[in-house]
Amino acid sequence: MNTELDPVIHAQARLKVVATLNTLPQGDRLAFPGLKDLLGMTAGNLSVHLSKLEEAGYVEITKTHKGRTPVTYVALTKRGRAAFDEYTKAIRALLDTAGGTP
């Protein structure tokens, strides 16, 4: 079992983003303002973390329009779901091995 923690996901804000998006069914997406509000983050901070996740291929950002208003949607990719699954397994393995020490 690999107990290395993915540094892209391990940053607290990015972990919150990935964990939140992972609750959506595969293929679903969340509008940027909704994600921002759910996480209690500023737009600028969320944008920076989403860029890192997008560079890693973990999220997909879709910019579109609803009427004349621009809308940005965020979705967790299959690669992002797999990375989060591996991350949670690594955390559990670390906790399991640490559980036996005083």
| Contact of 26 with 81, CB cutoff 8 Å | yes
Angle subtended at Cα 79 by Cα 76 and Cα 83, rounded to the nearest 5 degrees? 95
Q: How many domains does the chain have?
A: 1
What CA–CA distance (Å, rounded) separates 88 from 11? Answer: 14
For residue 71, what is the domain's CATH number?
Answer: 1.10.10.10
Asked whether the predicted pLDDT for residue 7 surpasses 60, the reply is yes
Quick one: pLDDT at residue 19? 98
Provide the whole-model pTM.
0.89
Q: Please give the Cα distance from 37 to 48 (Å, whole number).
A: 16
The answer to whether position 86 is within a domain reads yes
R_g of the chain computed on alpha carbons: 15
The answer as to whether 64 is a domain residue is yes
What percent of the chain has a predicted confidence (pLDDT) above 70? Answer: 93
Tell me if 2 is assigned to some domain: no
Q: What is the pLDDT of residues 62-90, one digit of tens each?
A: 999 989 999 999 999 999 999 999 999 99
In a domain, 33, yes or no: yes
Query: Does residue 47 belong to any structural domain of this protein?
Result: yes
User: Tell me, what DSSP letter sits at residue 67?
Assistant: T
